[in-house]
Amino acid sequence: MSLQIAVAHTGQRLDADPVAFGSVDALKHWIARATDIAPELQILLTPAGKHVKLQALLTEKNIFVYSRELSNGSQRTIPSTPLPDVFTPEEPPKFLANNTDMQSWKSLFQARRDWAFSILEKSHTMSLTASEQFSEQATIERGTQVAVGNHDLHIRGLEQKFQAAKEWFDGVEREASDNLKRLDGDFGQLGSIPAKLEFARFLAKELRSTQAAQTSRKASPGRVASLQDFLDVEAVKKATSTSKRVRDSFGKRMAGMNTQLEKIGADYNELLGVVGQSQSRSLVDDSEEPLRLLARSKWLQRKSSRTTNMSWASPAIQSRLPRYQRWLCCTRATFCQPLASIASR
């Protein structure tokens, strides 16, 4: 099965044998020798907008090649093909040596037949050139659609990842909010539960707060302590404020990501609109126009050639030629001479 390599920015198409390439890098080096795109600057996509892998060489019929240099906003410009000059056909032969001589008429019609053949040959050449240009244009437009569709896949992937991250953050935020509410309630309850400060020395070192040790040393014999005295109140307040600050910061980042994703979607829709507007004309009708014009030219040429051959080959016309010549002379004498005399007055 033949593999066609389409250069997206020029419309050039290359025929390749997929079996001859043992890796994607081998294909890139082959493309580099046929085009001016270095292997490290090539982006290979399938018609579905996916990056080319080795197994795709045996399953895909078309592969589109893009230049990373052009997609990165390089200042390099693609040389444009100059427009051809407007085709202006030569005037058909008009010279008639003797309008009463049949051979003169035959020579004139033969010259016009040759002129028609010449115009037809030039029309055929122009038709082939126009068809090639339309084929390249179709390749460029198809390559543009593939590249644009490739972004659609990435945008949908980003939307799915953002939705998953948002659901996770919403769950974490609800859980943290519930924990802080319970922490405030539990901390308030600890203040209502009496306790002896001497119990602090039985706690593990990591659970002993500096505040509890200081309170134990300074406490008066009659003071009633609570379980709050065993906790570091400042650490609890700091943890609460830190949790709120982290949640607010993460929420702002999520909102910023959502704004960026919406902007990406809007820009992408605008890009689709621009691409659709540039390809609004029917390329099928345009590409068939050279063939229709060439067919019309062939029909006119055949009609002219058939009329000429039939006219001079007919025996009836050949036999009636003397009578036609005499009739023409009588007509001249009857009409032309009186008109000339009237004009001279």
| Model pLDDT for residues 233-284, shown as the tens digit of each residue | 778 888 888 888 998 999 999 999 999 999 999 998 888 888 777 665 555 5
> Alpha helices of the chain — where are they, by DSSP H?
24-34, 56-59, 68-71, 102-190, 210-218, 233-278, 283-313, 315-331, 337-344
pLDDT at 168: 93
Among 3-17, 152-166, 217-231, 288-302, which is the least confidently predicted range? 217-231
Alpha helices in 87-202 (DSSP H): 102-190
Answer whether residue 309 shows pLDDT above 60.
Answer: no
**Residue range 218-236: mean pLDDT, rounded:** 68
Residue 61 sits at φ, ψ, to 5 deg, of -95, -20
* Confidence (pLDDT) at 283: 54
In this predicted structure, what is the pLDDT of residue 338? 38
Identify the pLDDT of residue 285.
56
Question: What mean pLDDT do residues 192-205 have?
Answer: 69
47 Cβ contact partners less than 8 Å away, ≥ 6 residues apart = 60, 62, 64, 142, 146
How many whole angstroms from its chain centre is CA 329? 72
pLDDT above 70: percentage of residues in the chain: 72
Rg of the Cα atoms in the chain: 45
Query: pTM of the predicted model, to two decimals?
Result: 0.59
**For residue 330, what pLDDT is reported?**
46
* pLDDT (0 to 100) of residue 170: 92
144 by Cβ neighbours in 10 Å (0-12 / 13-18 / 19+) ranks as middle
| Cα–Cα distance measured from residue 63 to residue 214, given in angstroms and rounded to the nearest whole number | 77
CB burial of 15-24 (b: ≥16 within 10 Å; e: otherwise) equals ebebeebeeb
- Report d(CA 240, CA 123) in Å as an integer: 84
Question: Do strands 42-45 and 62-67 pair parallel, antiparallel, or not at all (unpaired)?
Answer: antiparallel
Rounded Cα–Cα distance for residues 186 and 180 (Å):
10
pLDDT at 335 over 50: no
Using the 8-state DSSP alphabet, how is residue 51 labeled? B
Q: Which residue has the higher pLDDT, 61 or 151?
A: 61
Evaluate whether 43 touches 57 at the Cβ level (below 8 Å).
Answer: no
Length of the chain: 345
36 φ/ψ angles, rounded to the nearest 5 degrees: -105, 25
**Per-residue confidence at 326, pLDDT binned at 50, 70, 90?**
very low
What's the rounded mean pLDDT across residues 184-198? 79
From the options 3.40.1050.10, 3.10.20.90, 3.40.1190.20, 3.30.2320.80, give the CATH code of 3-71: 3.10.20.90
**Whole-number pLDDT of residue 271:** 85
Amino acid at 333: A
